[in-house]
Amino acid sequence: IAQRQFTLNGVNWYEIGVRAVIGNYDMYQVYYLGDNGVLDAHIYARGLQCNVNHLHYPNWRVDFDLDGPANDRI
C-alpha cells in the first residue's frame, strides 16, 4: 500500500494505491482524491506481452455509507 500527498495545478491531492503482482502482470491500482471534490482512479500495468488484441475494463465500487453501515456487503 502506498500513499502520498502532492499539489498539481493548484489542487492538493491525496493518493492511495495498492500494488499487486498476478502471474506476469505487475499492477498498481490507485485512487486520487482532490481537495476540490474530484475522485480519480487509474490502473497501471506492465508485464505480460500478449499478441492477441484484447481490452481490460476496470471496475470500482465505492461505498460512502450514506445510509449507514447496515447495507455493507463483503
Q: Which three cell numbers stand for residue 27?
A: 499492477
pTM above 0.75, yes or no: no
pLDDT at 14: 96
What does the pLDDT read at residue 73? 63
What is the H or E stretch that residue 45 is in?
strand 39-46
Q: Is 33 exposed, middle or buried (0-12, 13-18, 19+ CB in 10 A)?
A: middle
Per residue in 19-48, pLDDT (tens digit) is 999 888 888 999 999 999 999 999 888 887
Give the per-residue pLDDT at 50. Answer: 73
